């Protein structure tokens, strides 16, 4: 059974960097899947943040690309998200998920998700 | 960016009834690369349908997806008590991947 669990600070100050980790169990992230981040806020609904291939190739939402880094830590079987220069608009529930390879560049849907973690940006 | 508009926002039905949910795209979804998910409060989303019409592993056959181009539909043939939830669609045919705003299926 594949399980994903997000962790990280629930409160981040404006202009600082939001950092989250997704621990994966039941499957090796070194194998053939994407590993992605999605966020959900009342104002914007669900928003794809980006995902990373097991090889380390990354695919980012253009609206967040300049502030975003997604990386893998295969030794710990986890992957991470860093979003810099956050504002209140980045307040959301952040979820990690496993993305299916479809054979099309970047194209992925998600078959396993974490429960999500609320991150509030506030001073 | 492809905008997905789901309708209705809320669907009030009784167990045993048929539910028809719509997902309309602002432009054609490449190769009908569209997925549907179910989400219950406090739970992770559950993949139901991918490729517009293929059921994910373990999904009951009362769930079916159809459509192409810009118009897609999720149908639940006979609602079971556990089907009352929020449903949302996602297109993965072009970047950025985008999601619909969701349809809540509630008990009438």
Task: Say yes or no: A93 contacts chain B, CB-CB below 8 A.
Answer: no
User: pLDDT-based confidence at A78, cuts 50/70/90?
Assistant: very high
Considering only CB atoms, B56 lies closest to which of A48, A95, A111, namely A111
Residue B80, min C-alpha distance to chain A (Å): 22
Kindly tell me if the per-residue pLDDT of B23 is higher than 80.
Answer: yes
| Average pLDDT taken over every residue of chain B | 96
Query: Tens digit of pLDDT for each residue in A79-99?
Result: 999 999 999 999 999 999 999
Query: Tens digit of pLDDT for each residue in B4-15?
Result: 999 999 999 999
Query: Tens digit of pLDDT for each residue in A37-74?
Result: 999 997 778 999 999 998 889 999 999 999 999 999 99
- Contact between A100 and B44 using a beta-carbon 8 Å cutoff: no
User: pLDDT-based confidence at A8, cuts 50/70/90?
Assistant: very high
Considering only CB atoms, B88 lies closest to which of A46, A104, A107, namely A46
Q: What pLDDT shows up at residue A9?
A: 96
Task: Say yes or no: B96 contacts chain A, CB-CB below 8 A.
Answer: yes
Q: What pLDDT shows up at residue B40?
A: 94
Task: Say yes or no: A17 contacts chain B, CB-CB below 8 A.
Answer: no
What token pair was written down for A14? 């404006």
- Contact between B92 and A63 using a beta-carbon 8 Å cutoff: no
Task: Say yes or no: B33 contacts chain A, CB-CB below 8 A.
Answer: yes
Per-residue b or e along A47-75, where b marks 16 or more CB atoms closer than 10 Å to that residue's CB: bbbbbbbbeeebbbbeebeeebbbebeee
Q: What pLDDT shows up at residue A31?
A: 85
- Contact between B50 and A109 using a beta-carbon 8 Å cutoff: yes
Q: Are A92 and A40 in contact (CB under 8 A)?
A: yes
Task: Say yes or no: A101 contacts chain B, CB-CB below 8 A.
Answer: no
Kindly tell me if the per-residue pLDDT of A29 is higher than 80.
Answer: yes
- Contact between B95 and A110 using a beta-carbon 8 Å cutoff: no
Q: Are A113 and A5 in contact (CB under 8 A)?
A: no
Task: Say yes or no: B42 contacts chain A, CB-CB below 8 A.
Answer: yes
- Contact between A62 and B95 using a beta-carbon 8 Å cutoff: yes
Residue B23, min C-alpha distance to chain A (Å): 14
Q: What pLDDT shows up at residue A5?
A: 97
- Contact between A61 and B42 using a beta-carbon 8 Å cutoff: no
Q: What pLDDT shows up at residue A62?
A: 95
Query: Tens digit of pLDDT for each residue in B52-96?
Result: 999 999 999 999 999 999 999 999 999 999 999 999 999 999 999
């Amino acid at each position: 059974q594949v399980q994903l669990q997000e962790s990280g600070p629930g409160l981040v100050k404006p202009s600082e960097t939001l950092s989250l980790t997704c621990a994966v169990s039941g499957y090796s992230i070194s194998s053939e899947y994407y590993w992605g981040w999605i966020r959900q806020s009342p104002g914007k609904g669900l928003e794809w943040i980006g995902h990373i291939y097991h090889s380390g190739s990354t695919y980012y939402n253009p609206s967040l690309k300049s502030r975003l880094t997604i990386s893998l830590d295969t030794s710990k079987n986890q992957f991470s998200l860093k979003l810099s220069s956050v504002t209140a608009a980045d307040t959301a529930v952040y979820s990690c998920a496993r993305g299916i390879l479809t054979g099309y560049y970047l194209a992925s849907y998600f078959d396993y998700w974490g429960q999500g973690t609320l991150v509030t940006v506030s001073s | 960016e492809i905008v997905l508009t789901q309708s209705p926002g809320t669907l009030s039905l009784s167990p045993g009834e048929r539910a028809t949910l719509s997902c309309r795209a602002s432009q054609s979804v490449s190769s009908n690369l569209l997925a549907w998910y179910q989400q219950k409060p406090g739970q992770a989303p559950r993949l139901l349908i991918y490729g517009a019409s293929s059921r994910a592993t373990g999904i009951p056959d009362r769930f079916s997806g159809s459509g192409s181009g810009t118009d897609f539909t999720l149908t639940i043939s006979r609602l079971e008590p556990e089907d009352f939830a929020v449903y949302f669609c996602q297109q993965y045919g072009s970047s950025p991947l985008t999601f619909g705003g969701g349809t809540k299926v509630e008990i009438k």
